[in-house]
Amino acid sequence: MEAETTGRRLAARQRTIRIAAGLFVAMLIVFTLIGNSLQALTLPKVSAEKPSQGRLSRSFHGSAVLSPAETADLTNPAGWKVAQVLVKPGDAVHRGQQLVSYDDTEAQRQIEDETAALEQLELPKPQLQHRYVDAVQSGDEEAILDARTALESADASIRAQQNRIERLRHDASADRQLVAPFDGIVTEVHAVAGLSAATGGPDVRLADAASGFQFRLQIPAAIADTLKPGDAMDVRLTEDDSRSLKGTVAKIEDGDAADATAPSRSADDGAGDMASSESGSGAANSGSSSETGSLPVTVTIKDPSLRGGERVEVELSRQESKDALLVSAQAIHQDRSGVYVYAIEKRQSPLGNAYYAARRDVTVIDENGGVAAVGGDLYDYDQVVLDSSEPLQDGVRVRL
């Protein structure tokens, strides 16, 4: 009897325990499933890309205005008044062509004065000749010498005066007009009829057609480094797209030299890199091609159809010579300890794939626009984190 009740109580208790155990296991399973999902929800979400193998290309697009390569400033050295201006800006003139004619009345007057003086010198001459004849007839040695000296000195004065007049005439005829010394195009005319010695510049500025035109561009140092004087460059007119002209690189200058407002190089060499690129005057140290500065480059161009003052455009592009891993510049971060990117590492487990952000230190070889070529702890099978919903840290688990 007792055994029976104990048996029944035992069975009842065991059933309770069985139920309790079942509930326990069920609860654990539920919590396991919920926990996994909850954890995945709180992970930062990232977007990733695969780096590509390739070459970084840079391009530059610039425009400038053509100006004459060689010009000559022509002025009247005598400073006479201008009688007539025979050319205007833009005219093409050839060598020897008259440009400006000057009023030579002053010179003429001077010649007249000198001619009058000459006449005056010639006046005593018959008298001296007469005296000479007399002296010879008288036979006086001293008188002969005296008379001859007087005659010769008068002749000399007359000759000198004649030379002077000759010179004056020659100068007057030369200075009467301004003549083009070479073939070219008139760029500026400052001479005004009626005024003497043009104010504010030469009477005529002439552009030498033979030497062509030039323009100046600020080209980024990285591309400018590949150019050297003598290189050909494709140039296009802004107005007339159909033609493409060939220009030649004439000169590449250092950034600092061109900009008068650049900070003195010796003063802050260390901080000079920052300062000079801010002021836009190019690389502070020659040879550092990764600076973001630009260098002024002068290009000459020769074409009979050009007039000067046209706007031209240049497009240059350059590709790096070696392959490198290219990643978006957005993926690169920097902090106190260096430059790095986050790569995604996959770890497999029975619970599924887990992705972790791993920090990889890289060095930026080159950068252009939104793309950077990097080297370092990165391989082309890695995936690089572009953007994340939360700031990442090394080793943090992420959700793709």
Long-range pairs for 14-21: beta carbons < 8 A, 24 or more residues apart: none
Candidates 65, 123, 193, 351: give the one binding other proteins (CB under 8 A): 351
Least Cβ distance, residue 15 to other proteins (angstroms):
10
Nearest residue (CB) to other proteins, 11 versus 193: 11
Least distance CB 396 / other proteins (angstroms):
15
Number of H helices, E strands in the chain: 7, 23
* Of 8, 26, 34, 201, the one binding other proteins by CB under 8 A: 34
Tell me the three state secondary structure of residue 80: coil
DSSP codes, 219-272: EEHHHHTT--TT-EEEEEESS-TT-EEEEEEEEE--HHHH-TTSPPTTT-STTH
The whole-angstrom separation of Cα 57 and Cα 371 is 9
User: Is 244 a binder of other proteins (CB under 8 A)?
Assistant: no
Q: Report if residue 36 touches other proteins, rule: CB under 8 A.
A: yes
Nearest to other proteins of 337, 348 (CB atom): 348
Taking the least distance from each CB to other proteins, the nearer of 7 and 96 is 7
The one among 39, 137, 244, 319 contacting other proteins by CB under 8 A: 39
Nearest distance in Å: CB 26, other proteins? 13
Q: Please pick, from the candidates 8, 17, 159, 395, the single residue that binds other proteins as defined by CB under 8 A.
A: 17
Q: Is 163 in the site for other proteins (CB under 8 A)?
A: no
Q: Rank residues 21 and 123 by Cβ distance to other proteins and give the closer one.
A: 21
H or E segment and range at residue 296: strand 294-301
Q: To which H or E segment does residue 13 belong?
A: helix 2-41
Rounded CA gap, 345 and 392, in Å? 14
What backbone phi and psi angles, to 5 degrees, belong to 19? Answer: -65, -45
Whichever of 32 and 290 has its CB closer to other proteins, that residue is: 32
Minimum CB distance to other proteins, residue 400 (Å):
19
Residue (12 or 136) nearer to other proteins, CB: 12
Contact region with other proteins (CB under 8 A), list: 32-40, 68-76, 92-100, 122-130: 32-40
Structure-token match 């035992």, residue found? 10
Q: Is 26 a binder of other proteins (CB under 8 A)? A: no
Binding mask 331-350 for other proteins (x = CB under 8 A): ------------------xx
Residue of 26, 38, 145, 400 that binds other proteins (CB under 8 A): 38
Q: Compute the least distance from the CB of residue 368 to other proteins, in Å.
A: 44
Under 8 Å between Cβ of 330 and 346 = no
d(CA 218, CA 295): 5
- Distances in Å between the Cα of 198 and the Cα atoms of 75, 76, 78, 194, 380 are 8, 9, 12, 10, 71
Binding of other proteins by 14 (CB under 8 A): yes
Q: Is the dihedral of CA 195, 199, 202, 205 positive or negative?
A: negative
Q: CB of 113 within 8 A of CB of 165?
A: no
Query: Which segment (12-20, 63-71, 148-156, 326-334) binds other proteins by CB under 8 A?
Result: 12-20
DSSP 331: G
- Per rule CB under 8 A, is residue 194 in the interface with other proteins? no
Residue 31 engages other proteins in binding (rule: CB under 8 A) = yes
Q: Is 13 in the site for other proteins (CB under 8 A)?
A: yes
Size of the site for other proteins (CB under 8 A): 19
Which lies closer to other proteins via its Cβ, residue 29 or residue 65? 29
Longest dimension (CA), the chain: 202
Element (H, E) at 37: helix 2-41
- Nearer to other proteins by C-beta: 34 or 232? 34
Residues that bind other proteins (CB under 8 A): 10, 13-14, 17-18, 20-21, 24, 28, 31-32, 34-36, 38-39, 349-351
